[in-house]
Amino acid sequence: MTKPIGSDQLTPLYIYDDGERKRLVEAAAQLPSVEISSAAAANAVMLGGGYFTPLQGYMNLADALGCADNMHMSDGRFFPVPILNLVESIADIEGAERIALRDPNVDGNPVIAIQQVDSIETVSDEQMALMTEKVYRTLDPEHPGVAAFNGHGRYAIGGPIQVLNFSYFETEFPDTFRTAVQIRDEIERRGWQRVVAFQTRNPMHLAHEELCHMAMDRLNCDGLVIHMLLGKLKPGDIPADVRDGAIRTMVKLYFPENSAIVTGYGFDMLYAGPREAVLHAYFRQNMGASHFIIGRDHAGVGDYYGAFDAQTIFDTEVPEDALEIEIFRADHTAWSNKLNRVVMMNEAPNHTKDDFVLLSGTRVREMLSQGIAPPKEFSRPEVAEILINYYQSL
């Protein structure tokens, strides 16, 4: 199992001691407080679970700018994206040494974490533009990640945090949400050494399923961690509970026993393409994976990124010694009518586009909403049934 990044062990920021956590919850009620963004709350969840080891909290502006510009903080440590607590107003917290961070995603806005205030800095338009351009490779306000990042406010609160809960993820997804600590423990319990991780924000169709089997076979892996995003998505994406049901059904029916685990993590999608792929690899190493699948247009949206930019960034921008986890580079996978099986399209010579079963996302959604199951070469019937029920309930 891979070692955590920059440490011999994970450094989760969640307060596991019940007595200490209760004391901090009581103390938080007396502290100046601020309601943070959904992105900052998701960052707290990831920090709490050990996924962002060895970070101790939210970055100051210099560290954030360094991570955006060259994926390094001021002290030289590698981290692929800024981890910021950006707020719109500091009127209620000026001069405070410690503040309570209130969760925007839970009724009543309970305190999700306590932050030590090391710095409060105003982010200039030029600095926001630099970070946006470097991370998202565009300044287009129509890009959902760009719009979200630039809508969080311009005051950056830097400093370490103590995490008091895991927001709505632990309660709404009790069977799926897992911290990096829990996943490492599960991998160790199963005796797995070589572990490949698969990222998804969508249900898994037959091509995704077969891609996971290919990776496990070619890498000689002991197990697979299907690790789905449970946080905020863009409008039109399928909700996490529906994805969860579809993926669990697929694993139960089509994977050997003790070969795959279905888990999820609490983070809001950035849609940052290549840079987000590096972040995905970073925290998959922290959760114990030795390999990570990156396919075509990983973490992309629209036409902002090249089909394989999320793979080539590991060759062109990520320092050679930054990550121990290895990348399994996948092409688009689809059913070949010639070979009567799912293949990577770049491994299928003498094929034309018409030789593959290819359906656009729009067409699949149309079929499902009409109660029509996609062909068996595209989707398992049991998965299609779950998705049909969802679309017909809208």
Residue type, 3: K
Residue written as tokens 């076979």?
A: 217
Distance CA(251)–CA(261), nearest Å, equals: 8
Active site (annotated) includes residue 98: no
Enter the DSSP assignment of 72.
B
Identify the active-site residue in 77, 201, 248, 329.
Answer: 201
Active site (annotated) includes residue 201: yes
Rounded to 5 degrees, what are φ and ψ at 250?
-60, -45
Please give the C-alpha separations between residue 238 and each of 170, 234, 241, 266, 388, in angstroms, as whole numbers: 19, 9, 9, 16, 12
Distance CA(244)–CA(371), nearest Å, equals: 20
Cβ neighbours around 142 below 10 Å, total:
10
- CB of 196 closer than 8 Å to CB of 292: yes
Enter the DSSP assignment of 353.
G
Q: Which pair of tokens denotes residue 328?
A: 């399994």
Residue written as tokens 């990156």?
A: 294
Identify the active-site residue in 98, 190, 202, 329.
Answer: 202
Q: What ranges in the chain are assigned the alpha helix state H?
A: 18-28, 38-48, 61-70, 125-136, 144-149, 169-172, 180-190, 206-219, 240-254, 274-286, 309-316, 361-369, 381-393
In angstroms, the first-to-last Cα distance of the chain is 43
List active site positions. 201-202
